[in-house]
């Protein structure tokens, strides 16, 4: 059994990398498939001024926006479950693999 320590700076780089991947994905969507905002008046007063309005975003192809982010998140969760699987034989006193795996399965649902 070998003790492995991951410094906080290395973990920060992993987190920053994941954030950059998601930011890049969102940036590409905004450039190629921007969402259209539309707003309509629901209620007006006697002078024709809008009292309440309803707005929403729409796009021609929503799956071009939804599918990549779902794929990134599911891929990340499957990788985390794989790491939990690799750690399954560690003694309970060294790792809480059972609880981490349970949390990963819960997140995957």
- 36 phi and psi angles, rounded to 5 deg: -100, 125
| pTM to 2 decimal places | 0.59
User: Of the candidates 67, 43, 64, which has an alpha carbon nearest to the alpha carbon of residue 54?
Assistant: 43
DSSP secondary structure of 28-85 = HHHHHSPPEEEEEEEEE-TTS-EEEEEEEEE-S-THHHHHHHHHHHHHHHHHHHHHHH
- 108 within 8 A of 81, measured Cβ to Cβ: yes
- Asked if residues 37 and 14 have their Cβ atoms less than 8 Å apart, the reply is no
pLDDT of res. 1: 58
Measure the CA–CA gap between 15 and 105, rounded to whole angstroms. 21
What is the Cα–Cα distance from 48 to 15, expressed in whole angstroms?
A: 51
Mean pLDDT per segment of 10 residues, for the chain of length 109 residues? 78 89 85 82 90 88 82 86 78 71 74
């Amino acid at each position: 059994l070998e003790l492995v320590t991951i410094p906080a700076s290395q973990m920060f780089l992993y987190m920053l990398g994941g954030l950059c991947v998601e930011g890049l994905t969102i940036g590409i969507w905004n450039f190629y498939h921007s969402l259209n905002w539309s707003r309509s008046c629901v209620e007006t007063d006697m002078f024709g001024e809008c009292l309440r309005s309803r707005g929403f975003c729409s796009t021609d192809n929503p799956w071009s926006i939804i599918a990549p982010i779902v794929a990134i998140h599911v891929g990340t969760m499957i990788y985390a479950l794989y790491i939990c699987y690799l750690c399954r034989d560690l003694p309970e006193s060294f790792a809480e693999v059972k609880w981490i795996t349970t949390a990963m399965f819960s997140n995957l649902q």
